[in-house]
Homo-oligomer: A and B are copies of this chain.
Amino acid sequence: MSPDHDHPRPALTVDCVVFAIGDDGLEVLLIERDHEPFAGSWALPGGFVEMDENLESAARRELEEETGLTDVFLEQLYTFGATDRDPRGRVVSVAYYALVDRAHAHLAADSDAAAVDWHSVAALPGLAFDHREIVAAAHERLRGKVRYAPLGFELLPRHFTLTQLQRIYEVILDSALDKRNFRRKILAMGLLVDTGKLQRGVAHRAPRLYRFDRRRYKQLERDGFSFWL
């Protein structure tokens, strides 16, 4: 017996809000739509969920197909189901957000899309469907969660400097942070490991490179420690 035999079903899609930090601050990855509806408009990467795949798998598949990105940090955001959100009919969309290191994210536009490109969150073009609302929800989630979860590291390469990390937080929280206080606090958590390497090739004193100790984070988390910035 089918769950609802003759019962009509909404279509189900996933959409991905991919964030990175660029020169213009926080940026989102958008694709230019090739087909109707909203052909020519910018939109979030996403598409229909297959019958035999989990939701997160669908999000990862669509992301790879449409942008070339794989192995990114990905988390479910919210499910958007307003009855009029798609002009073609009833379409419910499970939205995810992803965090990537812009410098190491090599993009490859799909045949379905005219283009793939980064756009400053502060100056988005007109978006298809309710995608502006979805980006706004993702942005709010990121701003809230970055303070109590180790999300900042997902926007950086595996080895990074404290100044790079501080910039991540300054961009997301949209406020200047004190360098000494920031460094003291983040190092005091004991989650950063000094790799012993230095970043050479910069026209000033070579900064130390750190990495985030995921194993230790999970350990401390179990022991009741909570990340806080």
Residues of A within 8 A of B (CB): 1-4, 7-13, 36, 48-49, 51-55, 76, 78-79, 81-83, 86, 88-92, 94
Contacts and interface: CB of A to CB of B under 8 A. Distances in A.
A92 B2 contact: no
Contacts of A49: 10, 81, 92
Nearest to A48: B4
Given A7-B11, A9-B12, A1 B83 contact: no
Number of copies: 2
A48 B7 contact: yes
Contacts of A81: 49, 54-55, 94
A11 B2 CA distance: 9
Give chain A's interface secondary structure class: loop
A43 to B, nearest CB: 14
Nearest to A10: B12
B51 A12 contact: no
Contacts of A94: 79, 81, 92
A92 B12 contact: yes
A89 B53 contact: no
23 contacts: A2-B89, A3-B13, A3-B91, A7-B11, A7-B48, A9-B10, A9-B11, A9-B12, A10-B12, A10-B49, A10-B51, A12-B92, A51-B83, A51-B90, A52-B90, A53-B83, A54-B81, A54-B83, A55-B79, A55-B92, A76-B78, A76-B79, A92-B94
Contacts of A3: 11, 13, 48, 86, 88-89, 91
A10 B52 CA distance: 9
A32 B175 CA distance: 52
A179 to B, nearest CB: 24
A214 to B, nearest CB: 20
B1 A88 contact: yes
A178 to B, nearest CB: 19
A36 B1 CA distance: 10
Contacts of A9: 9-12
Contacts of A76: 78-79
A210 to B, nearest CB: 28
A113 B44 CA distance: 41
A19 B89 CA distance: 34
